[in-house]
Amino acid sequence: MARNKLSDCDILFRKFFDRWYTKEDREHRPYTATRPDMEQLSIPPGAKASELSPLTATTIDEVQGQISSMRSAAADDWPTYLKVSAPISLEWIAAFDSHYDRDAVQKVVARSQASDFSNDYVVLCCELGAILGEVLLQQNRRLQWLYDRPYWESAIFDPGSNFRVNVFHWAVKKMSDYGVEDGLVGKIQGCLQRIEETS
């Protein structure tokens, strides 16, 4: 594989994430690889994310803690190599986007061992997903976390439009040939505009 050639997002998802699903996780999962960027759920308007989650209250707390841990890890890690400082904001997304060009993503993929759950590819995708969720919540206070497991199946949910935004899958797409050259800031803005137009 050429140094600047990246695999498709679904290939990378299957390589780095698929192995960590339990049988139970797979049974209620409607996709075999990455999810669409946004999905409009066929449910009555006004439903709360807490009512839609397939998890128990205890498991929701566990998943919430995992996402919070990834957000905190990004808050600690990103300022060490990106030109960002607290608080987390849209500028963090822009800085990540600029730093992780095709060559940088390929280096992450090359040094990551898929059998190691703490490999750089998985960690970076999960940090990015958590930060994308945080920034979307900042931009529209109506949005909520819709928790699922594994925690990267969690999404941002809008009760006004019934859209779920699959932020961790955005991250995998960014870190692949599919989306490495897409602008995540523009993607966030387009997502928010679509939510408002549909609400």
Instruction: Dump pLDDT digits (tens) for 123-142.
Output: 999 999 999 999 999 999 99
Tell me if 198 sits within 8 A of 159, measured CB to CB. Answer: no
Q: How confident is the model at residue 4 (pLDDT cuts 50, 70, 90)?
A: low
**Average pLDDT of the chain, as a whole number:** 95
pLDDT tens across 53-62, in order? 999 999 999 9
Residues 136-155 have a mean pLDDT of 97
Of 47, 25, 20, 12, nearest in space to 164 by CA = 47
DSSP 83: S
Residues 17-40 have a mean pLDDT of 95
In Å, what is the CA distance from 195 to each residue of 14, 141, 183?
29, 12, 19
The answer to which of 8-17, 20-29, 82-91 has the lowest mean pLDDT is: 20-29
Residue 17 has pLDDT above 50, yes or no: yes
Residues 150-168 have a mean pLDDT of 97
10 Å CB burial of residue 32 (0-12, 13-18, 19+) is: exposed
pTM of the predicted structure, to 2 decimals: 0.96
The span from the first CA to the last CA of the chain, in angstroms, equals: 45
Residue 1 has what pLDDT? 41
Q: How far apart are CA 115 and CA 72, in angstroms?
A: 24
Residues 179-198 have a mean pLDDT of 96
For the record, the structure tokens of 26 come out as: 């797979």
The answer to which of 14-23, 30-39, 44-53, 177-186 has the lowest mean pLDDT is: 44-53
Sheet strands (E) in the chain: 38-40, 144-146, 155-158, 163-165
Residues 149-173 have a mean pLDDT of 97
